[in-house]
Amino acid sequence: MTPKTVRAWTLIHKWTSLICTAFLLMLCVTGLPLVFHDEIDGALNHEPKIVAQPGQRLATLDEVLDTALKARPGEVGLFMSFDIDRPVVNVTSGPRPDAPESQMHFASIDLTTGKILAPGGAAGGVMDVILRIHKDMFLGLPGLLFLGFMGLLFTAAIVSGLVVYPPFMRKLDFGTVRVSRSSRLKWLDYHNLLGVVTAAWVIVVGLTGVINTLSEPIIQVWKANELAAMTAPYKGKPVPTHLSSIGKAVATAQAAAPGMRVQFVAFPGGSFSSNHHYAVFMQGETPATEKLLTPALIDAETGQLTAMRRMPWYAQALLLSQPLHFGDYGGLPLKILWALLDVVTIVVLVTGLYLWLSKRRGGEAS
Query: Across-strand partners of 349?
Result: none
Query: Across-strand partners of 294?
Result: 282
pLDDT at 131 over 80: yes
Closest to 25 measured CA to CA, from 355, 347, 337: 347
- The mean pLDDT of 317-343, rounded to a whole number, is 89
Percentage of the residues of the chain whose pLDDT score is greater than 70: 96
Whether the Cβ atoms of residue 87 and residue 50 lie closer than 8 Å to each other: yes
- The mean pLDDT of 63-84, rounded to a whole number, is 96
Closest to 205 measured CA to CA, from 6, 346, 54, 64: 346
Position 123 confidence tier, pLDDT thresholds 50, 70, 90: low
- The mean pLDDT of 198-220, rounded to a whole number, is 94
* pLDDT for residue 46: 67
Closest to 18 measured CA to CA, from 352, 285, 360: 352
pLDDT at 121 over 70: no
* pLDDT for residue 365: 41
* pLDDT for residue 169: 77
* pLDDT for residue 350: 95
Percentage of the residues of the chain whose pLDDT score is greater than 90: 68
pLDDT digits (tens, 9 = 90+) for 24-70: 999 999 999 999 988 887 777 766 788 888 889 999 999 999 999 99
Position 366 confidence tier, pLDDT thresholds 50, 70, 90: very low
Give the pTM: 0.84
Mean pLDDT value across the chain: 90
- The mean pLDDT of 233-257, rounded to a whole number, is 93
- The mean pLDDT of 288-295, rounded to a whole number, is 84
pLDDT digits (tens, 9 = 90+) for 164-199: 888 877 777 777 788 777 888 888 888 988 999 999
* pLDDT for residue 124: 58
* pLDDT for residue 205: 94
pLDDT digits (tens, 9 = 90+) for 136-169: 999 999 999 999 999 999 999 999 999 988 887 7
The 3-state secondary structure of the chain, one letter per residue: CCHHHHHHHHHHHHHHHHHHHHHHHHHHHHHHHHHCHHHHHHHHHCCCCCCCCCCCCCCCHHHHHHHHHHCCCCCEEEEEEECCCCCEEEEEEECCCCCCHHHCEEEEEECCCCEECCCCCCHHHHHHHHHHHHHHCCCCHHHHHHHHHHHHHHHHHHHHHHHHHHHHCCCCCCCCCCCCCCHHHHHHHHHHHHHHHCHHHHHHHHHHHHHHHCHHHHHHHHHHHHHHHHHHHHCCCCCCCCCCCHHHHHHHHHHHCCCEEEEEEECCCCCCCCCCEEEEEEEECCCCCCCCEEEEEEECCCCCEEEECCCCHHHHHHHHHHHHHCCCCCHHHHHHHHHHHHHHHHHHHHHHHHHHHHHHCCCCCC
Report how far Cα 49 is from the mean position of its chain's Cα atoms: 26
